[in-house]
Structure 1
């Protein structure tokens, strides 16, 4: 009886974790698109900077005020040598995602973001000479094919938005690959990661946002009739962005790797459908087919990665964190530990 009750609670917790993750993720995407399209606030750098400020404040409150998670102490030298590079990639990832939302529909942007597994494998193979089983490469075929089909048949195609989303996949892959190697020795969770990375990201982005978009933001403030409600929506998107980071931590600890992968792909489908109902962007039958093929490929990729060993015997591995100044010069090292 106790085992049945425990099993039911585990299932319920997993379902709740997945749905709250979906809710925050879709809310951030829809709110950002609403800001760019409906509020005519066409300043992705400023939106990203507001997100980082809200995330910094939220992480501080969760750790130092609410005491939900203990603070992981990081040496000052490691903050600049390890966390700052990660913050830069983290910043580029968020900015490119917002830039892509500025120019292309949510459905197209989300489909391109599904290309991330392919860019991760290709980066590891080209830069770090890590070799993969043929089934890994085979699982990328439907992902790439679906992206190509979606791009060719996209009715609202925009080159800048497409390139921003594609380079966003590259930034996401780079962040994923470097995370464990750069933060080697620190058992980071998502809240502590945001606690240390968000202030750096704000610092990196504040000056470019002020120089490139400051005048436009001032003009928008002067010409917007419903300024207070618009400001609430923009700040609300930043709060949702922080909640999304917190929800990722919860869902990872409440589900298995396979469930997380499948739920992520279903989340993309949910976001595409929900955004279409709100923004009514045109989607052709072939475009929808390309999106479906991509999601199936991502699911198959996650299944193959879960079933195969993390590393084939005798193959080069992803580099660990440099342990001395001599090792910091060559990023690629023959004697390296696999932490991916």
Structure 2
């Protein structure tokens, strides 16, 4: 199809997410609307929408230059950046065993990057900065959902319109002429639109599931659990796109997955030793904090 316009694709995804959230809340009434003051919308939701836009755009840009398997492996660095940001910015203190569990994840990514046969510096940097944006977005979302008792679909309902507004002008200015030329010379419009807007529908489902998982767990748990999809991404990338994967690439991915498994074991052991409730990133560093427990539900603020 050769539709190489990451800003436009991201904007379409956010439009589909906004429409989907509106239908769920306003039309189907599957979830009550959580009323948010206009000031809080700009002060709390707009920054998260801005960071989320950066995250999505960087991910789409990186896919133009590096394979899916390599991009997904780089994204596995996100748990480390999440822990560091929470420690430095929000003064959240983790047990030393959590830091130790991140070592194989980081080491596996470094090994994969060094031995990547389709390495591209621009795509690598875009994916790497995307990790930082993902960590910031995830922490902000955790703070919004846990601290202010938002649910997943209401977060998408308020975030997607802001994200669309942020991306619409850059997409029009930077990619508008290219999109027009593609419409004139591209493949049949009906099938192309079905594919593009079908991906937007999947993006809404992804956004919904992301915020639901964050609401049910914590930022670090969510990011580390997401690394388990690396093996599937590498396999599918090789089967569909036939991009070359060296033996050391496979070893690096395996080390990353071992790190994910080790983190899950450490989290489980610490949660058994220290019962408690999840804390937001604003929790002061007064004492040693173990890994927050998961599945601590909060009631919606209507």
**Shared fold per TM-score greater than 0.5:** yes
Deviates more, 1:250-259 or 1:131-140: 250-259
Matched, 1:280 2:242: yes
- Cα distance change, pair 255–196 in 1 and its aligned pair in 2 (3 A): closer
Contact 2:7 2:175 (C-alpha < 8 Å) held by counterparts: yes
Residue in 1 that maps onto 2:119? 157
Q: Where does structure 2 lack aligned partners over 5 or more consecutive residues?
A: 275-279, 293-302
Residue in 1 that maps onto 2:281? 318
- Cα distance change, pair 256–46 in 1 and its aligned pair in 2 (3 A): closer
RMSD: 3.2
Secondary structure, in 3 states, of the residue corresponding to 1:308?
Answer: helix
Q: For 1:268, which of 223, 226, 230 is the aligned residue?
A: 230
Contact 2:25 2:33 (C-alpha < 8 Å) held by counterparts: yes
Residue by residue over 1:166-192, the C-alpha shift from the partner in whole angstroms, topping out at 9 and shown as x without a partner, is 111111111222234356653222211
Deviates more, 1:104-113 or 1:255-264: 255-264
Q: For 2:266, which of 293, 296, 304 is the aligned residue?
A: 304
Residue in 1 that maps onto 2:148? 186
Matched, 1:210 2:172: yes
Q: Taking structure 1 as the reference length, what is the TM-score of the superposition?
A: 0.75
Q: For 1:132, which of 79, 94, 103 is the aligned residue?
A: 94
- Cα distance change, pair 229–256 in 1 and its aligned pair in 2 (3 A): same
Structure 1 residue 195: deviation in Å? 0.5
Q: For 1:228, which of 190, 209, 213 is the aligned residue?
A: 190
Structure 1 residue 217: deviation in Å? 1.0
**Count of aligned pairs:** 284
Contact 1:261 1:302 (C-alpha < 8 Å) held by counterparts: no
- Cα distance change, pair 67–118 in 1 and its aligned pair in 2 (3 A): same
- Cα distance change, pair 260–290 in 1 and its aligned pair in 2 (3 A): same
Structure 1 residue 276: deviation in Å? 1.5
Q: For 2:10, which of 48, 71, 76 is the aligned residue?
A: 48
Residue by residue over 1:116-144, the C-alpha shift from the partner in whole angstroms, topping out at 9 and shown as x without a partner, is 11001122233334333221221111111
Residue in 2 that maps onto 1:14? none
Residue by residue over 1:139-167, the C-alpha shift from the partner in whole angstroms, topping out at 9 and shown as x without a partner, is 11111110110001111111111111111
Matches within 5 A, 1:60-71: 60-71=22-33
- Cα distance change, pair 242–182 in 1 and its aligned pair in 2 (3 A): closer
Residue by residue over 1:55-110, the C-alpha shift from the partner in whole angstroms, topping out at 9 and shown as x without a partner, is 00011011111111111111111101111111111111111111112211111111
Q: For 1:175, which of 126, 137, 144 is the aligned residue?
A: 137
Structure 1 residue 263: deviation in Å? 6.0
Q: Taking structure 2 as the reference length, what is the TM-score of the superposition?
A: 0.84
Q: Where does structure 1 lack aligned partners over 5 or more consecutive residues?
A: 1-38, 312-316, 321-332
